[in-house]
Structure 1
Amino acid sequence: MADNRTGQSTQRRYELAEHVLRKNIVEGTLPAGLVLLEGPIAEILQISRAPVQRALQTLESEGLVSRFKGRGFLVGPGGERVEPNRADIKSIGLVVPQHVDEALQSRSSWERIYNTVEKDVAGCVVFGQYRIIETELASHFNVSRTVVRDVLGRLSERGLVRKNQSSHWVAGPLTAQTVKEHFVLRKMLEPQALITCAPYLDRGALKRLFDRLTELEKLHALDVQRDPEDIQTRFIETCVLSTPNEKLRDLIANNLLPVAATERLLRRLGLPGEPILITELRLVVELLMRGAVAAAAAMLESHLDASVNRTIAQMKIVAIIPGPSVTADYLTRVME
């Protein structure tokens, strides 16, 4: 047994994910017809989506899961008429053996520090341009320069950092112009994604989202302000990222990173959310529920037009606020 566990610890993450999913399917923990989505599984296992995706593809080749006219995979072989079960896998309770969990958590160093670095960077770029010094970043987290380059490379892929003409890593400034550019992409991508995912939408999830938006509309403005980020995330995941087009989904998710970071920063600085956005999102969802997909896509475009104007207006307020007095020691403000 000890030897087996040692072997498990040296397996790659997708192999460990395969092992966990296969065991849960064979033993009946995951019932036939259950919809398996990469995101929730990755969250439970605390790994990225890529190894989960590879694991599901392997299980598909084994006939343990199958594709269907919707996002994700169904538990069970294809060809059977099984009603998709969209229960939350977290509520079912995916069983992860302790030795597998320990092996999965022995993650690459870049994964352990990535979220912290992303948060540090996103929290300051609205105030100007910052240089990221590789040696100080490595020293701050006690990791190698190779790990640092992995982190910065992934931040670069997501558009949060870049190299300047001197080959220095820099972040920001997040200006009104860059925000506009992100919203231009949002208008190009998100309404189209909404149209492509409309036939596959989870009607139950859509109804629950509509009920929550309706409830928020009735609340006092101060109560609404505590919820915008969460409800917007829920809206995007339900109505936009449900598209079966994986490439489109990845483009949207990456483009949203700096936008979401800006929203979080504005809320942390005390700028209020706008209750009207709740009404805008509710109208999109209501149109989808009525089957008016083209109208829902047009309403989403109108919402994005209004959102970029609101965001830029709040950024103008932030422009007169002094930058953060304390930033991570590997971030150095570049003075103009």
Structure 2
Amino acid sequence: MTTQPGQRRYDIAETVLRANIAEGLLPEGLVLLEGHIADMLQMSRAPVQHALQSLEAKGLVHRFQGRGYLVGAAGRGIEPLRTDIRQIGLAINQHADTALQSRASWERIYDTVERDVAGCVVFGRYRIIESELASHFNVSRTVVRDVLARLSERGLVRKNQSSHWIAGPLTAQTVKDHFGLRAMLEPQALTSAAAQIDRAALEALLARLQRLERDHPEDSLSDMDDLQACFIDTCILATPNERLRELIRNNLLPVTATTSLLAHLGLPADLTTITELRLVVELLSRGATTAAAAMHETHLDAALNRTIAQMKIVAIIPDPGATAAYLTRVQE
């Protein structure tokens, strides 16, 4: 397993995974999830997704009726092995480790900062002090400014009139604005993606939605984040328009953070979400693209109403006690 200086992140990820598969460290049937691998390699999900797609094309992994990939070639009836890869670990040789560590410092902390910021804004307005953020991650102020600049580009933070970095608040109106953008962007993306969608992934998603809708397993609601992410990845982000994909991802950040946080607070999800998504996917699988796009608009309208209703409950919940140390609540 060798890497070259300046090697692209997805090449590094592919090299590491391919070597671990070849050496038997990742057993046949093991379920590989992008997020877990990204955490272990300290990179974002995009290069890991690219690496898994490349490994799939080479017959080393394959998709199945669930989220992620299975180790091994398709068509052999391999049963999923749902052991957490983080418990198994990845063997990373010195060359790959050096290549990973040579990435720009801001990339190594960006995902964590993004998650911290997105998870608190539903509770109010927070200030990010550059020196405290730098101290928290033991990085330079230059690195911190790079991170904050990218968060600003994605709409998660801004500078106020005093040039302080501010995150939030995420109000009912801002949620409406984000869902308004979703209604404009996502049906268009779905329409343009129809011919590009991975049919096997679409059928697997449909089977999963049908099973959840029929059986109502106890974990169906706790799995909602993963389910909706799978829907977005499969049906929306398959659009060939790269700029549209970027706009959708950026707009989804605070929305996803809000729905995830509401679930973690114990607020119940709504099983009608599964039915709505199932109808969209079913229409897509039948080639009824226009009807699928219209159904997705209906789903977004209903999802907005559900989110607003839950945010009214959050309004009476105290601030979270586990906010990152570098985030300071600003009194309204």
Could you tell me which of 101, 110, 130 is aligned with 2:96? Answer: 101
1:142 Cα deviation after fit: 1.3
1:310 alignment partner, SS class: helix
Could you tell me which of 71, 74, 77 is aligned with 1:91? Answer: 71
Asked if structure 2 preserves the Cα contact closer than 8 Å seen for 1:221 and 1:275, the reply is no
1:124 Cα deviation after fit: 1.5
- Between the aligned partners of 2:194 and 2:57, the Cα distance in structure 1 is 23
Could you tell me which of 168, 176, 183 is aligned with 2:179? Answer: 183
Could you tell me which of 235, 241, 255 is aligned with 2:237? Answer: 241
Could you tell me which of 175, 198, 201 is aligned with 1:205? Answer: 201
1:224 alignment partner, SS class: coil
1:188 Cα deviation after fit: 0.7
- Render the CA deviation track for 1:202-235: whole Å, top value 9, x for unaligned: 2111111011001111233743211111110001
Q: TM-score, normalised by structure 1?
A: 0.77
Could you tell me which of 6, 13, 16 is aligned with 1:12? Answer: 6
1:275 and 2:271 matched: yes
Summarize the alignment of residues 93-132 of structure 1 with structure 2, pairs less than 5 Å apart.
Answer: 98-106=93-101, 107-132=103-128
Larger Rg: 1
Q: Which amino acid aligns with 2:280?
A: V
Asked if structure 2 preserves the Cα contact closer than 8 Å seen for 1:137 and 1:148, the reply is yes
1:193 and 2:189 matched: yes
Q: Pick closer, same or farther for the CA change 1:222–1:199 going to 2, 3 Å.
A: same
1:199 Cα deviation after fit: 1.1
1:119 Cα deviation after fit: 2.1
Q: Which structure 1 segments of 5+ residues have no match?
A: 29-38, 57-70, 77-83
Q: Which moved more, 1:318-327 or 1:185-194?
A: 318-327
1:18 Cα deviation after fit: 7.9
Q: Which residue of 1 aligns with 2:286?
A: 290
Q: Which amino acid aligns with 1:120?
A: D
1:49 Cα deviation after fit: 7.3
- Between the aligned partners of 1:16 and 1:126, the Cα distance in structure 2 is 33
Asked if structure 2 preserves the Cα contact closer than 8 Å seen for 1:133 and 1:331, the reply is yes
- Between the aligned partners of 2:248 and 2:223, the Cα distance in structure 1 is 22
- Between the aligned partners of 2:248 and 2:55, the Cα distance in structure 1 is 21
1:139 Cα deviation after fit: 1.1
- Between the aligned partners of 1:161 and 1:133, the Cα distance in structure 2 is 12
Q: TM-score, normalised by structure 2?
A: 0.77
Equivalent pairs, count: 295
Summarize the alignment of residues 252-271 of structure 1 with structure 2, pairs less than 5 Å apart.
Answer: 252-271=248-267
Q: Which moved more, 1:326-335 or 1:165-174?
A: 326-335
Asked if structure 2 preserves the Cα contact closer than 8 Å seen for 1:16 and 1:100, the reply is no
